[in-house]
Amino acid sequence: MESQSAKPIIAALLQPLPILSQPQARNDLGDETVVRLLVRQFIDLSLDAFNQVLQGKLDQDEAVDGINRQATALNAVFLGTSGFETVITHPWNTPEQLGAFLKDMVALEYPEDDCVRAMLIHLATQVMHALRLPDEDRQEEVEALTLDAADLLLGRAPEDEIDIDIDV
């Protein structure tokens, strides 16, 4: 289920990326650069929401709802159901393939058609915990989280084995 308010933000993220040489200015979900940029944008949106909560500019429930809307919209993108014409999907981008892979790799107890969202919510939680680290450690942790999430969305096991239980 897609949120109306998240769709314009995700659509903006999926505008043809100028640094990429994609045919016909489309974003290929098989391209590691595209996937990393989408994950990084999600992380940046999450960091911004958490910082707004810390500064008292945003209620925690509103921040969580906003992050969930973004995760839900990206769930549709990565599972090939978003309808965005600027996105090139592959047979991998289905609940039966990507959803099942995430369910197995990240030990998700969610339906396969909701596993990208669940993984992204867990990622946002990890980012929130990274805010407690000193600046240089935080940047390193956020970069590692970005790479691991991109690897998962591309169907690769992250370099470090993960053993995660997610209660979202």
Contacts of residue 32, defined as CB under 8 A and 6 or more positions apart, other chains included, come to: 150, 154
Q: What is the pLDDT of residues 9-68, one digit of tens each?
A: 566 555 544 444 444 567 899 999 999 999 999 999 999 999 899 899 999 999 999 999
Q: Does residue 139 lie within any of the structural domains?
A: yes
Q: What is the pLDDT of residues 102-116, one digit of tens each?
A: 999 999 999 999 999
Q: Which residues constitute the domain of residue 32?
A: 6-153
- Total domain count, the chain: 1
More confident residue, 164 or 50: 50
Q: Label residue 84 by pLDDT band (50, 70, 90).
A: confident
Q: How far is CA 121 from the centre of its chain?
A: 8
SS3 of 77-123: HHCCCCCCCCEECCCCCCHHHHHHHHHHHCCCCCCHHHHHHHHHHHH
* pLDDT at residue 165 is higher than 70: no
pLDDT at 83: 86
Q: Label residue 166 by pLDDT band (50, 70, 90).
A: very low
pLDDT at 126: 94
Average pLDDT across the chain, whole number: 85
Q: Does residue 160 lie within any of the structural domains?
A: no
- What is the Cα–Cα distance from 49 to 46, expressed in whole angstroms? 5
Q: Does residue 17 lie within any of the structural domains?
A: yes
pLDDT at 163: 45
Q: Does residue 166 lie within any of the structural domains?
A: no
